[in-house]
Amino acid sequence: MLKVFPLVVLLAASAALLSSQTTSPGTVQATGIVTNSVNPDQAQLDVSVITQGSTAQQASQQNAAQTTTVLNALKQTLGVSGTVQTINYSVYPRYSNSPGQNDVVVGYTASNTVLVTTNNLNLAGPLIDTANQAGASTVSNLTFGLQNPEPYKQQALSAAAKQAQAHATAIAAGLGAKTGAIVSAQEAAATSIYPVLAAGSAASSGTPTPVQTGTVSVSATVTITVQLLQ
């Protein structure tokens, strides 16, 4: 038997459905971006020794002798305030630049690069001078950073989260609403450490190389989604 619902019941059901749709809480998304300046407590630089020889063995032997001299000098300057680590070593042929002789090997080049790390920032300049005076071919990539950046990252993330909350509250107020529960929170971008780059050059006429440490930038970005309450 076919049953017919009264029109008033159908209208009431439609009104209830419409009411539940229009009163559902919305959300607002806000982002906090914080960059803190921190005094560095670590310095690093690359020191390379490059030698050439008529054979690979000759280039390697010359490089080993010259690198040993440079390493001994660096370690003496460092003392217990840092480390020296080999980060690249290579031996490769050199080819003729003469027309029609591009495949002719005219000699070999050996290259040895070490990373020097120190927690005594006052040694940055003396290390550059020591490397150059001991026979290093290049001294480059002098940077200042942090031995343990994690606490500074957490501080930046915490500040970015609070900033995001403040932005969400301001947006809600502008819409005539209030903020409710936080639906989600995430790092919109990886927390970053921006080391200070310092130019290192050879000292001339016995004048020590001047180095300015500056500060390190620790940056964090946090994006949150918050419920809007009418």
Sheet containing strand 178-194, edge to edge, reads 26-38, 216-229, 178-194
CB 160 within 8 A of CB 185: no
- How high is the pLDDT of residue 121? 94
CB 224 within 8 A of CB 168: yes
- How high is the pLDDT of residue 25? 63
- How high is the pLDDT of residue 193? 75
Q: How many helices (H) and strands (E) does the chain have?
A: 4, 8
- The CATH number of the structural domain formed by 42-145 is 3.30.70.2970
Q: 10-residue block means of pLDDT along the chain (230 residues)?
A: 40 33 69 94 96 96 98 96 96 86 87 97 94 95 92 95 97 94 87 67 62 89 94
- How high is the pLDDT of residue 21? 34
Architecture of domain 25-39+149-229: 2-Layer Sandwich (3.30)
- How high is the pLDDT of residue 42? 94
Q: Could you tell me the residue ranges of all domains in the chain?
A: 25-39+149-229, 42-145
- How high is the pLDDT of residue 189? 66
Supply 135's token pair: 């026979």
Q: Do domains 25-39+149-229 and 42-145 have the same CATH topology?
A: no
Cα–Cα distance, 23 to 230 (Å, whole number): 9
- How high is the pLDDT of residue 194? 72
